[in-house]
Structure 1
Amino acid sequence: MLNFLRKYSRHWVIAVIIGAIVVVFIFWGIGGFKSPQAQEIAWVYDQPISMATYVQYLTILEKKTRFRRELREEDYKALREQAPDNLIRLTLLTETAKRWGLTVSDAEVRAAILQDPDFHNQGAFDPRLYDQFVGKGRLRQFDKADFERWVRLQLLAAKVVEAVTAFAKVSEAELQEFHRVARETVQVDFLVVSPEAFLSRVHPSETELKEYYDKHQDEFRTPEKVKVHYVVCRAEDFRSQVKLTSKDLEDYVSEHRRTLVRPQSIRAREIFLAFPPKAGAAERQMLEKKAQELKLQALRGEDFAQLAQAHSQDAATAKRGGDLGVVKRGQKPPAWEKVAFALEPGQIGLASTDKGLHLIRLEDIKESAPLPEAEAKAWAKEKLSEARSRDLAREEAKRLAAEMAATSFTATVQKHQLTSTETPFFSQTEPVPGLGEVRAFAEEAFRLRPREVGLAEIPQGTAILQLLDRKPAGQLTLAQARERVQQAVARQKAQTLAAEEAEKLLARLRRGEPLARVAAQAALPLRDSGPFTRVQGFLNQPLAEAITTTAFQLSEKQPYPDKPVFWQGKYYLLAFRNRRAPAPEEFQKDRDTLARRLLEEKRRLLLEAWLTEEWQRARVRKAKHLAESGKEE
C-alpha cells in the first residue's frame, strides 16, 4: 500500500490538468439493469453482489436524489447507467475498510444525517423532513435501518478515500507553474482559408462522381420509414377533472422545497449584428470580424453602451446602450444563454444564433432564491394539475388502446368521435408530421408490427398509434443521388485546394514576406485574436484546442507554425504578436484558491489510480448482461 501511494503521489504534470477541475464524488452515481432474471450483477474478490443488494442500493439512491430535486426521464437514465460500476467501487472501498480495520460508530452515522442539508429547514436539522424521506407505514420504500446502513457504508468508503488521498501534496513550485500555465496569455494575428471560397473553381467529372459514389455508397441510402395514424389524449382536456386539496399542495411544497426557487437571472447589455438574408460563409466571416473588433475596443476600455448605440442592429435596445434589462434562464436561445450565463460581471462574450452575432457584456448576476409561500403553492398547484391530468390522459389512452385491440382502430375512433391523424412516411430521425421531434413516438412507431396499436408519451399527453405501412431501407442509384454526390465531390476537392493554398501562404510567411502583404494579395482579412489564456481558448472557443495549443508554441523567434491548423473545416494561419506572463501579485491573490483546486485534482487522480489497481486486484467480473451493455455503450 505504501509503495503504491508513494509511486502515485509524485511526478504530476501540471499542464495536463488545466481546465475544468472537478472533485468526483463517486458514491451517489446511480444506474440500471437490463436483465431482472439475473441473480448477481458482479463478483468482487470472488464474492457476488446480489441483484437484491443492487435493487436496494438503486431504490435508496433514486429516492435520495429525487428528494433533492425533480428528476426528468434523462436524469433517471443517467443515474441508472452508472449504478453497477458505482456499486462495485463502493464495494471495493468498504471491503478495503474492513481489511484495514476501519469502523464507523453509531454517533458518526447520526452526525452525518444531522449534517445532511437535504434534511435541513432554515439552516437546522428538521426531523419531519427526515421522517418524510425514510417514509412511514406499510407503503414506505425502505425503513430507517436500511438507509442508515447505507450511510454507514458511505462513511466507511469515505474513510478509505481519506486514507488513500492523504499522500497528495502540492509544492510551492507546482503552484507557481500551475498559475503560470493557467494565467499566461498569448495574442496572435491570423488568416483563415475556407474551402467554400474554392467551390466555384471545382467542376467534378463523370468519372470522379462515379468513383466517389462507388466508394461511399453507404452515404446514399434511404432510411427505413413508417406510416402511422394516431389519436392524442391531451392532458389539458382532463384538467377540469383534477381536484387538489390544501394538504396536496402543502405536501408538494414540503417535498420539493429545494427546487421551488426563482431561477437565476442576469442583467446584460448586447451589441447585435444581424446575419444578412441568405448570408454566405464570407459574409458571416466579415460580420464575425466586426464583432471581434468591437469586442477588442470594449476590452481596451471604450464604453460598451456607446459602442452599442453606434453599432447594434437591434434598434429597440441600441438606443438604451444595448441594455437588455433582466434576463431569466429560458428566455433566450440556448446558444445565447450558454455564453451569457457563463460570464462574470464585467466580462464580454460572443454568441452566435440563427439570427446573428451577439456581443454580450454581463452587468450583474442575481442568484436563485426560494419562492415565497404563495408562489410556491401556485407552482405546486400547476405542477400537480399537470401531472395528474397527464395521468388521467394516460389511463384513458390505455382504455382506448385496449378497445382498439379488441375491435379496430377505425371503429374506436368513429365510436368515440375522436380526431385521428394519418402521417406520411417518416424516418426515425425525422420530425413526426403534426407532432414535431418526439423521440418516444418515433421509437414506438418503429417498434410496432403491422396493424399493431401502441402508446407513446408526448408533450401534449399520450398518443395512441397504429402502424399502417413500412418501407425498408434502400440504396439510391447514382442518378437519384447525383446532386448530393456532386456536392460531396465538390466539397472534397475544394478542401484539397484550400489546404494547398494555406500551405503556399504559410511558406511565403516563413520565407519572411510581410504578413499584411500576403493577406492583401490573397484577399484575406487580417484578424487579431486578442489576448487569451489556455483555459479561455482561441477566440474564447475552449474547443479550439488545436489552435490554442499551436498559438502557445509560437514566440518571437518562431512567429509561425510548421503547418496550417485545421479547425471546423477551415485552415488557420497564425502569426505571433505577443505573450504576457501573470504578474507576481496576481499569484498571491489567487494562491489559496489554486492550492485548493490543485490539491483536489491530485486527490482525484490518486483515487482514480488506486481504484483502477484495486479493481484488477479484486478480479472484478460483471454479469454477462452488464458486460454486453457496457460494450454497446
Structure 2
Amino acid sequence: MAILEKIRNRTVFLIVIIGLALFAFVISDVISSRGGGMNHPTEIGKVNGKEISTESFRFQVENLLRSVGGNATTMQAVNRVWDENVRNIVLNQQFEKLGLSVEKDQILSVLSKNQAIAQNPEFQNEFGVFDASKFVNYIAMLKSSNPALYEQWRMQEEGIVEMAKQQTYFNLIRSGLGVTQAEAEMAYHQENDKADIKYVTLQYSSIADSTINVSDKDIKAYIKKHEKEFEREAYRNIQYVVVNETASEQDKQAIKDELVALLQPSIVYNSKTKSNDTISGFAKTNRVADFVAKNSQLPYDSLFVGKSQLPVAFADTLFALPKGAIYGPYEDAGYYKISRMIDKQANGSVEASHILIAYQGSQAANPNTSLTKEQAKAKAEELLAKAKVKGADFAALAKENSDDPSASIRGGDLGFFQRGMMVKPFEDFAFSNPIGYMGVVETDFGFHVIKITNKAEAVKLATIAQKIEASDATTNELFTKVTRFEMDANEDVKNFGAVASKSELSVLRADNLNANDEYIIGLGNNRQIVQWAFTKDTKVGEIKRFQTPTGYVVAQLTKKAEKGISTTEEAAPFVKPILIRQKKAELLAEKMKGASLEEIASANKTQVQSANALTMNNPIIIGVGREPKVVGTAFGLKSGQVSKPIEGENGVYVVEVSSTQPATALSEYKAFAQSIENLRTGRASQEVYNALLKASDIEDNRSSIY
C-alpha cells in the first residue's frame, strides 16, 4: 500500500520522466538511423574481393521465400541464398582462371536431357525427337512477344550455363583421379592380408582421471601446437527467463462457464418489436450452422466424418453419442469444446485402395509420363484383370504400377474417406458399390483401378469452441510480473539467477550463439534476441525484455567472444581428456618394459592375450574394440618380433606377431581400382569446393542486415 501511495503522489513526476524517456528513445533512434549505433554495410558481403550487392541479395531472398510458400524462415532463406552466392563466386573465379566457357551446343545438350523440355511436343520433330532449332525459334519469339517470360528463360539459362560449367570443371578434376596398379594392389592386401598376434595391454581405465594433473599451461601448449583446430567464429552466451501468457485456472473456468451458458436459451431485446425474444441455445437450436458461426472460434463443418477423424482421446465417446446428444466441455488442441450429434449415416465412410495410371495432359502427369489417354486406359483395364485374379496382391500391383507417389509406401491404400473428400467420379464409384468390388474410373488425374475394402458409419457433429487463452486481467498481471523482474534484475545484474528465483522464474541458458543464428534452445526461432546480443553497444551483463508471440523473455548477455582462437577455458573440456590420456599412456608405457610379453605380463600381474585374423581394413581386437594404430604396427613387424609400447585407443599395448597370412596375389586388380576410383570421384566435388572455400577471403555482413 505504501508503494501505491507513493506512486499516486508522484503521478505528474512519473509522466514527465516517461515522456522524457520516450523522447530520448525517439531521438536516439533517429540518430542511430542516420549513422549512429551499428554501421550497416552497403554490401551483404565480399568473396575474394567480389561484392555481393545487398539489393540483389534481398531480391533473391524474397524470391526464395515466395517460392517455398512459408516453409522456410527469413534466416533460412538468407543462409541458403548466401551459400549459393558464395559457391557461385568461388567456382566462377576458378572458371575464369581456367578460361572455362559454355557454348551454345552445350546448353542445348543440357536442355535435351531435361524431360520437361525434351518431351514437349512443341519442341519435337515428326519422329518425336527433341529438335533444338524449334526450341531456339521459340526463345526468339518469346524475346519479341513476351519479354517477361523471356526474362524468366534468361535467368533459367544462366542457371544452365552455371551447371554446365560446374560439370565441366569437376569432370576435369575427376579425370585426374585415376588409380595406379600399386594402389589397387595395396587396397586388396589391406582387405585380405591377415595377422595373428599375442599382446599385453594395460587399459587407461586402470588409472583414475583424478590422479592425473593437467595444468592450464599444458592446455595452452596443446592449443598453440594445434591452433588450426581451435579457430572459432564470434559467439555470445545468454541466460534468460520466459514468462508465457497462459490462461490461469480462473480463466479456464470462465471459458468453460461461457460455453456451458450457450447451451441454454437466452433472452435478447428486440429493438424492432420493442420486446424480448427468446433465442434457442446450442442444445436445441434448429439453426446449428448459424449458431456455430456466431458463437464459436472454429468454423462449422457440415461434412460427415469417420471415427478416425475425431480427437483420439474423445473419439469413442463422441462417435457413440445418440442423435441430438451433447458432450462437453472437453479440452482439445488448445480449445474448450462442446459437441452435439447432428446426424449419423450408415456406410458414410469408405475405405479403398487404388492404382493411378496417368497420361500425357492429365493432372497427375509428370515429365516422365509417356502414355496417351488410350494407352493409359488399356493399362488400367489390364491391371484390373490382374487384380481380379484369385490371390492377387493389390498392394504389390500398386507399388509397381501406380503414378500416385504414396503408392510405394502405402500400396495404394487411401484409408477411410467421406463424401466431399474425393473428386466426384471417384466418390460416386466408392459410395455406390459394395465391399470387395473393383473397377476402373476416369478422373482429371488419370485412370484409377479402385478396390473397395471396407465401409463404416460416419457422423456429423456440430462443435462450439473457445480458445484457451489468458484473460486481460491475467495478461496485465503477467506483464506486471515480468516488468518488476526486469527492474529488479537491472538493479542486481550480477545475481540474475537469484533475482529470478525470488520471482519464481526458471533461468535457461543458450551458449555459443553465432551471429547468423535464429534458433535458441528453449525458445525456438527468435532472431531479435540474437541480433541484440551481437549489437556492438550491448555490454556483458546487460538485460533486455523482449515480447514474443506467447509472452515475454527477459535476457541477459553473459559472454561476448570475438572471432579468434579458443581460450584455455573454452578448450579445456575438449583438450583435458586428450592430455589425460597422453599422460596415462606415458605412465603405462613405463611399466611395459621387458624382453618378452611374458615378462611384461608377469611384472604387471596380467596375462598375455591373443587376437587372430586381424586385417588392416577392420582393425578390431575382440573384447577390446577398434585399435587401428595397434593393428597397423603389427603388420609392420616380422614374425616373433616384439613391439615397443603402443598408445592405442583404449590402452597401451605391446604386441608380438605370431604369424601372417598374406593374401594370394591376383593377376589383375581392376575391381579394387574401380572401388577406389568410385570413392574418390564420388567425394571429389565436395572436397574440392570445401578446399576452395577454406582458402577464400570472405567478408560476411549478414548479421548486420538481417
Alignment TM-score > 0.5, same fold:
no
Largest Rg, 1 or 2: 2
TM-score (norm. length: structure 1): 0.42
Q: TM-score, normalised by structure 2?
A: 0.39
